[in-house]
Amino acid sequence: MTSLIHNAGRRPRFRRKLLLAAGAAAAGILALAACSSGATPTSGSTSSSTSSSSGKVTLTFWSWVPGIATSVNLWNKTHPDIQVNLDETTSGNAGTYAKMFSALQAGNAPDLGQVEYATLPNFEHVGGVIDLSKYGADSVKSDFVPWTWSQVSQGSAVYAIPQDTGPMGLFYRADLFQKYGLAVPTTWAQFLSDAEKVHAAHPSVYIAAFPANDAQWFAGLAWQAGAQWFTTSGDTWVAGIDDSASTEVANFWQQLISDHLVKVEPDFATEWYKDLSDGTLLTWPTAVWGENTLVTNAASTKGDWRVAPMPNWGSTKSNGNWGGSTTVVFKDSKYPAEAAQFAEWLNTNQQSITSLISNGGLYPADLAGQQLPAANSPVAFYGGQNIWSVFRANGQLVNTSFQWGPIMSTTFTQMQDGFGKATGGSSTLAQQLTTTQSETVSSMKSQGFSVTSG
């Protein structure tokens, strides 16, 4: 300690200068604190509905969809008595779900929230979402793609209003397919032979990437193949993450990985964007919303991409879904009727949907919305192809009986950790599916769920 004292004592002038600096900084901070507390009194608050004396209702809404503010503003303009306060958050799996769960526990959740289909059962099982059938949700049932409605309802209860969907398709580089003399694959077997052919001739070119970090992508592929990860039998969950369809998909990609025919890399990462732009990757099997990802992140390839239906397993046509989310009303809302009204409006009003399509890159779950010009016209980036019609047609093929389990975020994490090991070379994707299955079952058992392996 002595040297501090000693040193400081020896430099009185330096000391004063610093003190002045600290004082100035302090003054600045105080001014700043004053102005920021004045400027944003509500944005920092998670508090639920508040009502002023005039009878005006204010609802809080947590969402991360880019540009959703446009829809919210539209609502606020046309509904002066029900004002919606939007809190823009990070995406659900980046921590917002956890924050929703703990807010529910503490009894101060927002009125409305963005929740993906896969996570909805999580919220149902903690009793966090309000049954909207009490507020007339059934009246909009026929507006939506049938499988989405079956994912948001349990019996007669309706726990969310569907917002968007993610029917899958194969985005491919038409120019490079032609250049390398490849045929657009209609089956996965052809996909494999294309992969071999192009990689043999051009070792730095791959048919696709394998993102070990993205279990939801894999889920979409398994869904297409007819997987049934979760079903219920009476009061018991039946888990089948390593069922034969999923294992078939895993073995298929394992072969591509082992033969170095796909590039193993995380998706939605810098290098992956580069690979989509520079011809390293020839295809991207993905959901309809991937359209926007390519337009934004592979701008230099304008006119080169096209969309084809997903390659099939054998001769049966089928499709999977990746992503999509819903709007829920949380149990703590003091104005559930008003919140339900907003949730329905947000996802069925054509102006709102148009904005969600063009600003948020969403593909609506609302059937009429799918006919809107914003989601049903040729796209210049895709060489003038009306890619939407491909997705609309193939959206009909999505297997409607696929069901999510109650702890999907845990399952996804376990699968991603496992796939990381598999691509690291220490095991295989199929082995890791089995590991994920047993880990998920034991996680569920330890929480008290009644569960068996399918």
Partner 1 sequence: MVALGGPVRSRAYAAPGVSRSGILATAFMFVCAVYFLLPAWWLIVSSTKGPSTLYASQGFWFSQFHFMSNLTGLFTYDGGIYWHWLANTLLYAGGGALGATLLAAAAGYALAKYDFRGRELVFSIILGGVLVPGTALALPLYLLMSKVDLTNTYWAVLLPSLVSPFGVYLARVYAAAAIPDELIEAGRIDGASEGRIFRTVSLRIMSPALVTMFLFQFVAIWNNFFLPLVMLSNTRLYPVTLGLYSWNNEYGQAPQLVSYVVIGSLISVIPLVIAFLSLQRFWRSGLAAGGVKL
Partner 2 sequence: MVADHKQTPVAAAAATAGPAAPGRPRRRRAGWAPAMFLAPFGVLFALFFLLPIGYAVYQSLLKVHVSGLGLGPSSTTTVFAGFANYTQVFSDSSFWQGVGRVLLFGVVQIPVMLAFATVLALLVDSAAIRFRRFFRLAFFLPYGIPGVIAAILWSFLYLPGLSPIVATLQHTGFGTVNFLGANTTLWSIANIVTWEYTGYNMLIIYAGLQAIPTDLYESARLDGASEWKVATRIKLPMVTGALVLTGIFSIIGTLQLFSEPQVLRAITSNISSSYTPNLLAYTQAFTDNNPNYAAAIAVVLAAGTFILSFGFLKLVQRRGAA
Q: Which residues bind partner 1 (CB under 8 A)?
A: 1-5, 7-9, 14-15, 18-19, 22, 25-26, 28-30, 32-33, 36-37, 40, 43-47, 62, 66, 87-90, 94-96, 99, 102-103, 105-106, 108, 268-270, 273-274, 293, 296-297, 299-300
Q: Of 106 and 368, which CB lies nearer to partner 1 in the complex structure? A: 106
Residues forming beta bridges with residue 398, ordered by sequence position: 319
Binder of residue 409, out of partner 1, partner 2, none (CB less than 5 to 8 A by kind): partner 2
Q: Of 25 and 35, which CB lies nearer to partner 2 in the complex structure? A: 25
Choosing from 61, 62, 75, 97, the residue that interacts with partner 2 (CB under 8 A) is 97
Choosing from 156, 315, 316, 446, the residue that interacts with partner 2 (CB under 8 A) is 446
Helices in 278-325 by DSSP H: which ranges?
290-297
Binder of residue 28, out of partner 2, partner 1, none (CB less than 5 to 8 A by kind): partner 1
* 199 and 400 Cβ atoms separated by less than 8 Å: no
d(CA 48, CA 32): 27
Q: Of 55 and 107, which CB lies nearer to partner 1 in the complex structure? A: 107
Question: Tokens 């209860």 label which residue?
Answer: 157
Minimum CB distance to partner 2, residue 18 (Å): 17
Q: Which residues of 93-129 are buried (b: 16+ CB within 10 A; e: fewer)?
A: beebbebbbebbeeeebbbbbbbbbbbbbbbbeeebb
Choosing from 138, 175, 248, 417, the residue that interacts with partner 2 (CB under 8 A) is 417
Choosing from 66, 266, 279, 383, the residue that interacts with partner 2 (CB under 8 A) is 266
Which of 203, 178, 171 is CA-nearest to residue 298? 171
* 307 and 390 Cβ atoms separated by less than 8 Å: yes
What phi and psi, each to the nearest 5 degrees, are found at residue 43? -60, -25
Q: Of 3 and 53, which CB lies nearer to partner 2 in the complex structure? A: 3
Three-state DSSP at 373 gives helix
Choosing from 40, 102, 371, 452, the residue that interacts with partner 2 (CB under 8 A) is 102
Binding to partner 2 in span 320-359, by CB under 8 A:
331
* 327 and 114 Cβ atoms separated by less than 8 Å: yes
- By CB under 8 A, residue 447 contacts partner 2: yes
User: How far, in whole angstroms, is CA 446 from its chain's centroid?
Assistant: 28
Binding mask 109-148 for partner 2 (x = CB under 8 A): ------------xx-xxxx---------------------
Contacts of 284 by beta carbon, 8 Å cutoff, 6+ apart: 170, 171, 172, 208, 209, 276, 290, 294
d(CA 358, CA 67): 9
Q: Of 328 and 346, which CB lies nearer to partner 2 in the complex structure? A: 328
Binding to partner 2 in span 218-257, by CB under 8 A:
232, 235-237
* 363 and 162 Cβ atoms separated by less than 8 Å: no
Binder of residue 8, out of partner 2, partner 1, none (CB less than 5 to 8 A by kind): partner 1
Minimum CB distance to partner 1, residue 2 (Å): 8
Number of residues this chain uses to bind partner 2 (CB under 8 A): 52
Choosing from 9, 12, 41, 448, the residue that interacts with partner 2 (CB under 8 A) is 448
Q: How many CB atoms lie within 10 A of CB 76?
A: 17
- Mapping DSSP onto H, E and C, the string for 256-276 reads HHHCCCCEECCCCCHHHHHHH
d(CA 189, CA 172): 16
Q: Of 7 and 452, which CB lies nearer to partner 1 in the complex structure? A: 7
* 221 and 157 Cβ atoms separated by less than 8 Å: no
Binder of residue 89, out of partner 2, partner 1, none (CB less than 5 to 8 A by kind): partner 1
Binder of residue 425, out of partner 2, partner 1, none (CB less than 5 to 8 A by kind): partner 2
Binder of residue 354, out of partner 2, partner 1, none (CB less than 5 to 8 A by kind): none
Residues forming beta bridges with residue 43, ordered by sequence position: none
Query: Residue 200: how many CA atoms within 13 Å on its side-chain side?
Result: 7
* 163 and 337 Cβ atoms separated by less than 8 Å: no
Binder of residue 5, out of partner 1, partner 2, none (CB less than 5 to 8 A by kind): partner 1
Binder of residue 237, out of partner 1, partner 2, none (CB less than 5 to 8 A by kind): partner 2
Element (H, E) at 247: helix 244-258
The contact set with partner 2 (CB under 8 A) reads 1, 3, 93, 95, 97-99, 101-102, 121-122, 124-127, 154, 211-213, 232, 235-237, 264, 266, 269-271, 274-275, 280, 331, 406-407, 409-410, 413, 416-417, 419-421, 423-426, 443, 446-450
